Structure 1
Amino acid sequence: MPKHKLLYDYLTERAEDISQTWFDTLHETDPDSVYASTDPAVLTNLKKQNLAFNYQLNRIFSEEKEVYTAALEKWAFKAARDKEHLKTPIHYIIREFIRVRDLYVGHVKQFTRLHSDTVTEEDAEDIFHTLIKSFDVVIHIFIEEMYKNTNIQLEAQKELITELSSPVIVLFDNVGLLPLIGDIDTARAKMILENTLHQCSEKRITQLYIDLSGVAMIDTMVAQQLFTLIESLGMLGVKATLSGIRPEIAQTAVQLGLSFSNLSIRSSLAEAIASDLTQKKG
């Protein structure tokens, strides 16, 4: 018989009671927390997850460390990726793990008192160490998974913002406008290049105005990406016209030795459109 098999049986018999006690004492008001949900389906799943955790946790007293650790990790990875938990602030999740841990500590203390004749001081120390360590493992996995998910969401939001900040707007017929606003670093310049080519192809653009009036400064790398964009557009049959180049950018371009001599340039977007319309009418 494993060293703590009696404790395993003791806790397994009380697993549902522990889970119900935890659920009955939930007190949450934050609507972003899964623990404040009033959705019956969400609450049912929450109860199932907690009870499943209890049964997996109890295995730390009946199985080898490699076996029960793998089982706990499997439960933690699955629960951490649950959409309701992903929407819940991590400090609420840690708080609930601590509440469950405290319930377990109370039951384990009761067990050691009931079996004080067979559970030595060394046994009790080993039991509590194993229990706390197991909670630490699960909490660590939750924090790590939440961190990963947060980074994924931030990257997705960053890409969306970048994409929305460089839209190709159809003005009329096959004529489009790419208004660039704000700071443009190398990463954003690369994204602009990819998105613009894709959007021009998708929207069948043959004439594109690239307006820089909202851009305060560009460096050599960004300028090179801009030249690459214009060349790539030309290969797609899209004529590009730059407009709204601010004095600061023009001065920087000269200092960096950048040449705009082969590009179609107008002082403003209004002038660019008016000039092209005049040429078409003529």
Structure 2
Amino acid sequence: MYLQVAKYITEHKETFMNEWIDKMKVVGDGRVVQAASDQLFYKTSVEFIDLVVLHLTDSDDFNVRLDDFAERVVRIGWPVTFVITGLQTLGKLTYTEMKKEVPTLDYLDKFETWMTPMVNQIIQRYDEAWERTVSLQKIALQELTAPVIPVFDRISVMPLVGTIDTERARLIMENLLNGIVKHRSEVVLIDITGVPVVDTMVAHHIIQAASAVRLVGCKCMLVGIRPEIAQTMVTLGINLSDITTTSNLRKGIAKALQYTDRKIVDVMEDGR
């Protein structure tokens, strides 16, 4: 039975491809179809049907190909629901077409026999590929979430963007201390312009970071304090008296230069 189905799909592959793509554009997620180019969608669809044939023939290559395919569809944005719908659509299409040629045979039970384990196996591999992708993305984001950037000799800036939770605060502290040592900074500016909310917890983490910075012999400044943030801090009774603060990064850098016995001067157009 399985070999019959595999042979039938292979012999009518082009017809299956066109009909399957047309049906998926109707029953599948339109955003998935539109997100990829026609060429990429077609190529991935070919691999998808080839994978089904491999499973039917019980090929040793199926598991290897399945891993590669799962990684690829995760990267191009095929959700698992789209993959499952694709399998179900292909199964129904194959069953309907084969029944036309051999109407006396009842393939339904046998179709369920190979469809169900294949669906389960693909879902499992998809889930594993998704977890790996998310894990790698999380690591990449963590590496970029709190960089210490040297802007002048002995002066560094750490720009913060987005919300700050306990885990991210720990990462900020770690990156901050390592960055100060690495760049031999005497002054570091923590820029919170991109932090939407500064509550008691966020302020506590910032104060802890500033205290840790002082312990390694560096001065910490907090810049990018917007009026609404300043009002929130006052309302919450947050004390930042031990930390130098400015409203924007430009003013902060000017102060940092003063701390390192330098200053910004205007240069006339003729160079004098």
**How would you bin the TM-score normalised by the shorter chain?**
0.5 to 0.7
Shift of 1:177: 1.1
One-letter identity of the residue aligned with 1:99 = L
* 1:79 has 2:101 as partner: no
Counterpart in the other structure of 2:86: 95
Identify the residue that residue 56 of structure 1 maps to in structure 2: 58
Does residue 1:259 correspond to 2:239, yes or no?
yes
Spell out structure 1 runs of 4+ moving beyond 6 A.
108-112
3-state SS of 1:281 partner: coil
Counterpart position of 1:129: 109
Instruction: Please give the per-residue CA displacement for 1:196-252, whole angstroms capped at 9, x wherever unaligned.
Output: 344444444332111234445311221122122223333444321122333433343
Q: For 2:3 and 2:13, how far apart are their aligned partners in 1?
A: 15
2:157 is the alignment partner of 1:177: yes
Tell me if the contact between 1:23 and 1:47 (Cα under 8 Å) persists in the aligned partners: no
Q: Which amino acid aligns with 1:56?
A: D
Deviation at 1:165, TM superposition (A): 5.4
Secondary structure of the 1:273 match is: helix
Q: Deviations over 1:113-140 (max 9, x none)?
A: 37xxxxxxxxx5xx63343253133224
- Structure 2 residue corresponding to 1:37, chosen from 29, 33, 43: 43
* Aligned-partner residue type, residue 72 of structure 2: E
In 2, the alpha carbon distance for the partners of 1:80 and 1:34 equals 18
Q: Is the 1:34–1:84 Cα contact (8 Å) retained in structure 2?
A: no
Residues 149-178 of structure 1: CA deviation (Å, up to 9, x unaligned): 446545655665565454322211131112
Task: Tell me: CA distance 1:142–1:94, structure 2 relative to 1, closer, same or farther (3 Å).
Answer: farther
Contact 2:158 2:189 in 1 (8 A): yes
Q: Is the 8 A contact 1:33 1:88 kept in 2?
A: no
Asked whether the equivalents of residues 240 and 264 of structure 1 are also in contact (C-alpha less than 8 Å), the reply is: yes
What is the alpha-carbon distance in structure 2 between the residues aligned to residue 88 and residue 216 of structure 1? 29
Cα gap change, 1:148/1:175 in structure 2, threshold over 3 Å: closer, same or farther?
Answer: same
Count residues in correspondence.
243
Equivalence for 1:63: none
| Alpha-carbon distance between aligned partners in 1 of 2:260 and 2:97, rounded to the nearest angstrom | 85
- Unpaired stretches in structure 1, ≥5 consecutive residues: 1-7, 58-70, 115-123
Aligned residue number for residue 218 of structure 1 = 198
If the length of structure 1 is used for normalisation, what is the TM-score? 0.63
Give the structure with higher Rg (CA): 1
Amino acid at match of 1:264: T
User: Which sections of structure 2, spanning at least 5 residues, go unmatched?
Assistant: 22-32, 263-272
Q: What is the DSSP-based 3-state SS (H/G/I as helix, E as strand, rest coil) of the residue aligned with 1:265?
A: strand
After TM superposition, the score normalised by the length of structure 2 is 0.65
**Structure-2 change in CA distance of 1:49 and 1:160 (3 Å):** same
Contact 2:9 2:16 in 1 (8 A): no
Partner of 2:24: none
* CA distance in structure 1 between the aligned counterparts of 2:38 and 2:121, rounded to whole angstroms: 21
User: Which of 9, 12, 18 is the equivalent residue of 1:21?
Assistant: 12
Identity %, equivalent residues: 25
- CA distance, structure 1, for counterparts of residue 109 and residue 216 of structure 2: 67
